[in-house]
Structure 1
Amino acid sequence: MASVKKDDRLTRSQSFMCVGFAGFFSKTVTSPLEVVKIKSQVGTFHSKRGFWQSFLLVYQNEGLRAFWKGNLTSCLRLFPYTAVHLTTYKKIVHLHMDELGFISQWRAILAGGLAGVAAALVTYPLEVAETRLIVQNCRQPTYIGVVHTLSKIYGSEGLLALYRGFSLTLLGAFPFSVGFYVVHMNLDKIWQEPPFRFTPLQNFINGCLAAGVAQTLSYPFETVKRKMQAQSARLPHFGGVDVHFSGTIDCFRQVVRNKGVLSLWSGLAANTIKIVPYFGLLFTCFEMCKQVCLYRNGYIISPLSYKLAPGVDQSLGPNELQEVKRYLKNRNFGSGETSFGNQW
């Protein structure tokens, strides 16, 4: 997935807060599309009549609040996922750096992939809970809230149920990473300028196109994964899954045999439509939050503008800039005190 551009003028906690807020807001706004997408992947009756009819069926059978089922779980998953991903990525990159602090592009991609796997491993139970909350009928719920969902799955189905389909996360990571990397490499050639000179609009277009291609390539793995997360003999209609299977390979086989190969991309329309508003809101919210932090750190003159503060070295980190300010303040105070004493 596309990510917001790192800015060394923010502290680690500020970057984490900005990413968290942007992710929370963009996920909440685009939650209806996510609900329809997951129902289509699982194969519930809501998705039998196509993309647009799915919205109408969800509204008629469960009401407006059904479009935000599982959204809190999805948002809560952002924070540990981001923290684990960033921490793991930095540690892996540090291990592969040479004496000059350089790391090859392929090793950086590998580090990103391994960090993503580690983050997914830690937060995967929350993804399973999100799927269960979305596929159930909220007017006749089996699960109520995140904690109840996790405890009930663990109590009735065991620990392994919270990691059902995790292997597909690993398998889907390869086509996703390759698609994302190839698109970004070719877009850099099309723009005919280095990435650090890209405008916000260019970064947004790159992110949307790369995410669209990468998600399309890895989509069959996610479809099967969602079916495996949803299916349970202890749920009404086996969780609403449109095929019954005994494992990962059998799930692929049953889907292709009963629904056709294209059914592996069920819900792709909702997912594709979601990309533009999701990343648009993600980048916009991040930039707004970042402006407030940059203003507070003293790099810009207003939280409503990117106009740089005069006389401020933008290459300094937040802590370094504060040290410089304290030094100048103490020096000016000391010189003022001396001149005051000389007058007497």
Structure 2
Amino acid sequence: MATPLGMLRGKNAAGEHELHVSQAPPPVCPVDDEAIDLMKKAGVERGDEAGAEAVGANPDVKVLNTRNLDYILKSGLAGGMAGCAAKTVVGPLDRVKILFQTSNPQFARYSTSWFGVARAMQDINRNEGMRGLFKGHSATLLRIFPYAAIKFLAYEQIRAIVIPSRGKETPFRRLISGSLAGITSVFFTYPLEVMRVHLAFETKHGIRASLRRICRQIYNEGRPGVATATATTRATSAPIPPTSSPDGFFTNSPHPPRLVWGLSNFYRGFSPTLLGMLPYAGMSFLTHDTMGDLLRHPILAPYTTIPHSENLTTTTTTTTTTTTTSSSSSQPQSYKRVQLKASAELFSGAVAGLVSQTSSYPLEVIRRRMQVAGTMGDGHKVGIAETARRIFAEKGFRGFWVGLTIGYMKVVPMVATSFFVYERAKWWLGI
């Protein structure tokens, strides 16, 4: 009979055999007890070398392959749904926040008032109707679905690599996983974000806000011999075919052959976005996971979790062929966590939003200003340092925190909704 690894036989001073039971390693987080309980339910003892086989053989345990197409598609779908739901909830606040951050002349007087947000929304509703509060929302949904899908999908995949076992689940690894996921998603969807900001920045009446016109306007900003369309004038130039040369894409050279215009305009403000994404996405996932650990602590679990919602699910990184299935022993099994109640999940997401927004807000303000540099009629490409100097010269250090109050008002429901919908969608989809 095979002896469990945790039980070793030795000889005492009298030469008689005695049984030594090794101590279980200390829990790495409050929910480690939860994992132990699930292993017992699955018939697996802690430290059992045959644990993976025992789990897989148990009919009550559903084995998931995080690398197969089904899991990837479902996690991406759950992420996209979460992003769209979150952005729809805060659409009006998002419009007002962008107007404040970019120092739109028509709304500058509202940015320093305690009730400025409400007054700005009333002004927009009076002049543009309810649709004005959601101007740019179509571009938002067009951008947010792939962005959120890629972000959550990337987080699941990167996390599986960076944190292969519960014993290696540290705050730093969680932070790195979230940051890399955020960078991956923003790289593929950033042009749509620039289009959304331009749409939201427009306040001129009588101008039809369309994605086609905005694309043409952004593309032509800074082009030699072409008048730059601004937020207060209608673009009149004919559509320009995309350039066949990537010269202007990653260059800041002022020489005529390498002027910064065309496709590079869709990546204006990309550098501070990457810098801002490191603390924002990283702190968001780290805080959410940490709050989830605390709310699942045995003392709080009876009040914050849904009983019997763990489903005894284990995640693996198996490689399946037509005849055999192999499982790497270097990828220990992990178990699906008990679902939090709606109030607890929303609270966890709200705290994550507050922490992530505070840590990255100055870089977000710089990014917004860089994105609308062409819209403001300037046309030449400015860097992070120059934009920061302009903001400081205009409003001092307060300029880097303009709109933070509305940022909090937006982030609390947005991030809370995002994580809540994502976790519930994963549960409904069986992953």
TM-score (norm 1): 0.68
Partner of 1:274: 410
- Aligned counterparts of 1:40 and 1:109: Cα–Cα separation in 2: 30
1:248 aligns with 2:366: no
Structure 1's 130 and 218: CA in aligned 2 closer, same or farther, altered over 3 A?
same
**Larger RCO (CA under 8 A, 6+ residues apart):** 1
Contact 1:36–1:47 at 8 Å: present in 2 too?
no
Contact 2:80–2:147 at 8 Å: present in 1 too?
no
- Aligned counterparts of 2:275 and 2:119: Cα–Cα separation in 1: 32
1:68 aligns with 2:134: yes
- Aligned counterparts of 1:285 and 1:94: Cα–Cα separation in 2: 21
Contact 1:62–1:138 at 8 Å: present in 2 too?
no
Partner of 1:150: 215
Contact 2:81–2:421 at 8 Å: present in 1 too?
yes
The AA in structure 1 aligned to 2:183 is V
Q: Return the offset for 1:248.
A: 1.7
Structure 1's 96 and 148: CA in aligned 2 closer, same or farther, altered over 3 A?
same
Partner of 2:143: 77
Q: Return the offset for 1:71.
A: 0.9
Identity of aligned residues (%): 29
1:52 aligns with one of 100, 113, 118: 118
Structure 1's 185 and 107: CA in aligned 2 closer, same or farther, altered over 3 A?
closer
Between the two proteins, the alignment pairs up a number of residues equal to 281
- Aligned counterparts of 1:287 and 1:94: Cα–Cα separation in 2: 17
Contact 2:352–2:415 at 8 Å: present in 1 too?
no
Partner of 2:297: 193
Q: Return the offset for 1:70.
A: 1.2
- Aligned counterparts of 1:184 and 1:95: Cα–Cα separation in 2: 19
The one-character-per-residue Cα deviations of 1:252-280 (angstroms, maximum 9, x if unpaired) are 11212221211212222222122343345
The one-character-per-residue Cα deviations of 1:163-192 (angstroms, maximum 9, x if unpaired) are 111111122234435654775587568658
The one-character-per-residue Cα deviations of 1:272-314 (angstroms, maximum 9, x if unpaired) are 12234334544565577567656xxxxxxxxxxxxxxxxxxxx
The one-character-per-residue Cα deviations of 1:304-337 (angstroms, maximum 9, x if unpaired) are xxxxxxxxxxxxx7xxxxxxxxxxxxxxxxxxxx
Within 5 Å, give how 1:200-219 maps onto structure 2.
Answer: 200-219=342-361
- Aligned counterparts of 1:108 and 1:129: Cα–Cα separation in 2: 31
- Aligned counterparts of 1:263 and 1:65: Cα–Cα separation in 2: 29
1:162 aligns with 2:266: yes
1:30 aligns with one of 74, 87, 90: 90
The AA in structure 1 aligned to 2:385 is I
1:130 aligns with one of 179, 196, 203: 196
- Aligned counterparts of 1:286 and 1:188: Cα–Cα separation in 2: 14
- Aligned counterparts of 1:190 and 1:81: Cα–Cα separation in 2: 28
* Partner SS for 1:238: coil
Contact 2:72–2:153 at 8 Å: present in 1 too?
no
Partner of 1:264: 400
- Aligned counterparts of 1:151 and 1:216: Cα–Cα separation in 2: 35
- Aligned counterparts of 1:8 and 1:82: Cα–Cα separation in 2: 26
Contact 2:84–2:141 at 8 Å: present in 1 too?
yes
Contact 1:18–1:290 at 8 Å: present in 2 too?
yes
- Aligned counterparts of 1:87 and 1:191: Cα–Cα separation in 2: 24
Structure 1's 238 and 274: CA in aligned 2 closer, same or farther, altered over 3 A?
same
Q: Return the offset for 1:138.
A: 5.5
Partner of 1:238: 377
- Aligned counterparts of 2:158 and 2:426: Cα–Cα separation in 1: 27
Q: Extract unaligned runs of 5+ from structure 2.
A: 1-61, 65-69, 111-115, 222-260, 302-336
The AA in structure 2 aligned to 1:48 is R
Structure 1's 173 and 280: CA in aligned 2 closer, same or farther, altered over 3 A?
closer
Structure 1's 250 and 71: CA in aligned 2 closer, same or farther, altered over 3 A?
same
The structure carrying a bigger helix percent of its residues is 1
Partner of 1:173: 277
1:226 aligns with 2:286: no
Structure 1's 224 and 103: CA in aligned 2 closer, same or farther, altered over 3 A?
same
Q: Extract unaligned runs of 5+ from structure 1.
A: 1-6, 295-316, 318-344
Q: Which protein shows a greater Rg?
A: 2
Q: Return the offset for 1:245.
A: 8.9
The AA in structure 2 aligned to 1:149 is I
Structure 1's 268 and 245: CA in aligned 2 closer, same or farther, altered over 3 A?
farther
Q: Return the offset for 1:64.
A: 2.3
Q: Return the offset for 1:23.
A: 2.6
The AA in structure 2 aligned to 1:209 is V
- Aligned counterparts of 2:361 and 2:186: Cα–Cα separation in 1: 16
The one-character-per-residue Cα deviations of 1:12-51 (angstroms, maximum 9, x if unpaired) are 4344334323432331232000001111110112142232
- Aligned counterparts of 1:43 and 1:247: Cα–Cα separation in 2: 18
Structure 1's 281 and 125: CA in aligned 2 closer, same or farther, altered over 3 A?
same
- Aligned counterparts of 2:197 and 2:396: Cα–Cα separation in 1: 23
